Amino acid sequence: MTAEIQHTIDAVWRMESAKLIAGLTRIVGDIGMAEDFAQDALVAALDRWPASGVPDNPAAWLMGTAKHRAIDHLRRSKMLERKHEEIGRELADWQDAAATDIDEAIDDHVGDDLLRLIFTTCHPVLSTDARAALTLRLLGGLTSAEIARAFLSTEPTIQQRIVRAKKTLADAKVPFEVPRGSDLDARLASVLEVIYLVFNEGYSATSGDDWVRPNLCEDAMRLGRVLAELQPREPEVHGLVALMEIQASRLRARTDAAGKPVLLLEQDRGRWDHVLIRRGLTAIARARSLGQEPGPYLLQAEIAACHARAGTASETDWARIAGLYGELAQIMPTPVVELNRAVAIGMANGPAAGLALADRLLSEKSMARYHLLPSVRGDFLAKLGRNDEARAEFLRAAELTQNAREREMLLERAAGQAN
């Protein structure tokens, strides 16, 4: 197999696996089984494409192959009669699979199997951590190692969590559907959390060779926009949409021509997408118009808006950002929020003030392997002229990160502290 074909297969799988699993779950009614059929299709592609070449529509090829395997399973399981009408519709869809996008074959009140998959994996029968891990696996296409990084957990723990979650859903016979009414409201917070975790993996990849993965951001934003139409009176939905839109506006500026990371304060703001910024600001106004106390997503969106409104880095209202992080810490008192508040305090009141806050987090067990803590401390130490200490912190951060691009940047920052 050539490196080019391998790269193509990997890319197609990353982009299409979630749609594949979602569509298959609608057919077989079991998430674990659907993932198995999707994997079977991937194995078939690895076997055939090197000889036959990559098909014109690789996503449709994978879906068609996986669906045929699903039908074979239904026949063997004597379930075909019960599924006859549904499968007949699927067979009709396959006729045009090469010419149509898979999503166009979906027609329900939401119009998106991916959204159904999210609500299924976010069912209350699962713990919050299990919901998020399973959804990141199935919709984000992330490995267990990547999810472990996102959760500040270990890979074996995440693997066990995912296996148990799929079994729990199967045993409970959780339906593949978007809930309605009070059931929808009850599951919404978990869904928002998961969507944002998927977005964050695209915005700042936890591992691999790429600093950003825009496809994940786009999927998360699309799902968020659909949710906003489903729940127009829920400010936190609009807050999440706003947060994602404004953050996504920076994607083009987050890397240079060679794909190397560019930090926020060093970005060319002329490359920011001002259409996305306007959409985000509109979503903030829509959330605020509902007259409720702001939740964590709306507060984070307003923090992002402070950056978006600043024409240059020096014009950033860091005092307001620090205040917003203070409000956020009241309703979401986590070490990561405190670390971000330390950054804002450091920018508003000087590096010594920021370092003092960051140092309080050194005893937090959950932060022991969180690479951004030594990275932030290194930045403050460098500004204070404590170069040797800064260098040690940047090296520590480089050791902890699993992202190749980020590691290169941190090593460069460490080298820059030489006396």
Separation between Cα atoms, residue 55 and residue 59, nearest integer Å: 9
DSSP H or E run through 16: helix 3-28
Question: Who's near 13: CB < 8 A, 6+ residues apart?
Answer: 42, 62, 141
Distance CA 241, CA 196 (A): 9
Residues listed for the chain:
419
**Cα distances (angstroms) measured from residue 330 to each of 197, 253, 327:** 21, 32, 5
**Helix H or strand E encompassing 358:** helix 351-359
**Count of CB atoms within 10 A of residue 10's CB?**
11
Q: What is the pTM of this model?
A: 0.72
Domain ranges within the chain, ordered by starting residue: 1-100, 112-231, 239-308
* Numbers of helices and strands, H then E, in the chain: 19, 2
| φ/ψ bin of 396: left (φ > 0), alpha (ψ from -120 to 50), beta (otherwise) | alpha
Angle in degrees, CA 304, 308, 309, rounded to 5: 120
The DSSP symbol for 174 reads -
Q: From first to last of its 419 residues, what are the pLDDT tens digits of the chain?
A: 677 777 777 778 777 888 888 888 888 888 888 888 998 988 898 888 888 888 888 888 988 898 888 888 877 766 555 555 555 555 555 444 433 433 343 334 334 687 788 888 888 899 878 988 898 788 777 778 878 876 667 899 999 999 999 999 999 988 888 888 878 877 888 889 888 988 888 888 766 667 677 878 888 898 898 889 878 999 999 999 999 999 999 999 998 888 888 999 999 999 999 999 999 999 999 999 999 999 999 999 999 999 999 999 999 999 999 999 999 999 999 999 999 999 999 999 999 999 999 999 999 999 999 999 999 999 999 999 999 999 999 999 999 998 888 999 999 999 998 76
Cα 138 from chain centre: 11
Distance CA 26, CA 183 (A): 20
The gap between the terminal CA atoms of the chain, to the nearest Å, is 49
Measured on CA atoms in the order 17, 23, 28, 30, is the torsion positive or negative?
positive
How buried is residue 315: exposed, middle or buried, by Cβ count under 10 Å (0-12/13-18/19+)?
A: exposed
Distance set, CA 199 to CA 299, 361, 396 (Å): 17, 26, 26
Paired tokens of 34: 């659907």
Contacts (Cβ under 8 Å, ≥6 apart) of 152: 366, 367, 369, 370
- Decide: helix, strand or coil at residue 330: helix
Q: Which stretch of DSSP H or E encloses residue 4?
A: helix 3-28
CA–CA distance, 310 with 316 (Å, rounded to integer): 5
3-state secondary structure of 402: strand
Contact indicator for 148, 56 with CB cutoff of 8 Å: no
